[in-house]
Amino acid sequence: MNKNMRVSTLARHAYTHAYTDYLRSGDLEEATRQVAHQIYLNRGNRPGTQQGDWEEAERITREWPQTITDASQAHLFDKALAKTRHWLKEIELELGMSNPNDAYRALRAVLHAVRDRLPVREGAEFAAQLPIMILGLYYSGWTPMDKPLKMKTMDEFLDHVGEQLPPGMDPLRVTRGVIRVLEHHVSAGEIKDVRRNFPEKLRELWEETARAS
């Protein structure tokens, strides 16, 4: 390794170290000072000034906050997407489906029926436990007017589920499968509160399905 390559490698290492310190402390000025010092060392006997080193360091570190923000947003998006895929895969397995589109339709149909049967406040408390992308699905097309809907029987609830299912999907079977997935991910206390708002036969169905999961 020649001298220039060695210096360049040391500089990159120093910049990475400064960046790591910035991530930990949030002190951009101190991180810029570290980079400026490394620029001075890397410059050696070449012409330059302390002010010039500082300006170059500022140029290097100026975009760091945006870089961190973009990276954090990308990480959160990837994490949310992975969690949604995990839920859909569980539904696929529960219902013997072969693609995530059918699982998506099944989840949407049951969530919307649950949402529309719950009082607005209880529906919001239940929604708070859903992954962010599924939360968007949950609230899609929702209005608080005339809620909760008066679904007094299990048949009325299943009819509401069936309205959003493609032909050939059994609302009862779909409801059971989605309930099993919800039981895996939503707290027992919240599930209990949700069930309390359902007709007796639907509460029995939910409890029976939960015991079998």
Q: Which has the minimum average pLDDT: 42-56, 88-102, 116-130?
A: 42-56
User: How would you classify residue 165: left for phi > 0, otherwise alpha for psi between -120 and 50, otherwise beta?
Assistant: beta
pLDDT band at 3 (very low <50, low <70, confident <90, very high): very low
Higher-confidence residue of 169 and 210: namely 169
Q: What is the mean pLDDT of residues 9-14?
A: 47
Asked if residue 103 and residue 28 are part of one domain, the reply reads: no
Domain ranges, residue 36: 3-62
Q: For residue 181, is it within any domain?
A: yes
In a shared domain, residues 117 and 182: yes
Q: Give the pLDDT score at 42.
A: 79
User: Within a domain: residue 134?
Assistant: yes
Quickly state the pLDDT bin for 1 (edges 50, 70, 90).
Answer: very low
Compute the average pLDDT of residues 4-28: 60
For residue range 144-183, what is the model confidence (pLDDT) as tens digits?
A: 888 899 888 888 999 999 999 999 999 999 999 999 999 9
Domain shared by 103 and 34, yes or no: no
Radius of gyration of the chain (CA): 28
Kindly report, residue by residue over 44-75, the tens digit of the pLDDT.
788 888 898 899 888 888 877 776 666 666 76
Whole-angstrom distance, CA of residue 165 vs CA of residue 103? 10
Query: Same structural domain for residues 45 and 145?
Result: no
pTM, two decimals, is 0.66
Residue 67 included in any domain:
no
Structurally, the chain folds into a number of domains equal to 2
Does residue 176 share a domain with residue 80?
Answer: yes
Say how many C-beta atoms besides its own lie within 10 A of residue 70's C-beta: 11
Question: How many CA atoms does the CB half-sphere of 19 hold within 13 Å?
Answer: 15
What's phi and psi for 187, nearest 5 deg? -60, 150
